[in-house]
Amino acid sequence: MQGMMEECRIPGAEGGQDVVFRPGKLICIGRNYAKHAAELGNAVPTSPMIFLKPASALVANGGDVVIPEASSDVHHEVELVCLIGKAGANINRSDALNHVAGFAVGLDMTARDIQLKAKEKGHPWSVAKGFDTFAPLGDFVPSSSITDPQDLTIRLMINDQVRQEGHTGDMIFPVDELIAFASTIFTLLPGDLLYTGTPEGVSAVAPGDRMVAEVEGLPVLEMNVRSTAH
């Protein structure tokens, strides 16, 4: 399977041993920035909108996003990603960030044409969101490296042109609230990943594009786009 990630690694402090997690659930948040909801003509949610991706969609920094034959309209969505390091259910919001082991930049790739057809029929988004390589993920930093996850600039460039630019302070539901809410539905386990939503500016990618995703204080995520025929 092309580039699938088998582990998430948190660098050890001062040359210490890295902490390694096996990826678990990919818990993704839709419409968590008001301007992104507006650009797609969607109402702003009153509680977090959750969908899931399979771990087989993960692909590491420097890999390829593969446009499937089933879609002709694949969009980029740059996101702050949290790695859960401590298990918990019904987590108090005040304790939520203590369950985060690390942060990274991620991309939630979406087959928009497939998603729109699913929405029209009231069907789930799993196909539109779950293709192999549709969850690019950068390298992690320890959670202690990020003082405030709600005070970070976030940006995506395609072929050196800025496509998305925002700020995590504009999230409708901040990271601690997302973790607390998700934990009332799923027991969060070490290795679970939380994709926290994307700012406005989403658009289609094409074979040959070079994506560079950035969140302040985190390692840059660089991905190439290609077709299945490559």
Tens-digit pLDDT profile for residues 29-76: 999 998 887 777 778 889 999 999 999 999 999 999 999 999 999 999
Name the stretches of the chain with pLDDT < 70.
1-3, 229-230
User: Does residue 165 fall inside a structural domain?
Assistant: yes
User: Does residue 99 fall inside a structural domain?
Assistant: yes
Which two structure tokens, joined as six digits, stand for 20? Answer: 């390694």
Number of domain units in the chain: 1
Determine the pLDDT at residue 229.
65
Which two structure tokens, joined as six digits, stand for 17? Answer: 């041993």
Give the whole-angstrom CA distance, residue 129 versus residue 126.
Answer: 5
User: Does residue 106 fall inside a structural domain?
Assistant: yes
CB 11 within 8 A of CB 21: no
CATH number of residue 94's parent domain: 3.90.850.10
Give the whole-angstrom CA distance, residue 155 versus residue 216.
Answer: 9
User: Does residue 11 fall inside a structural domain?
Assistant: no
pTM given for the model: 0.95
Which two structure tokens, joined as six digits, stand for 114? Answer: 């497939």
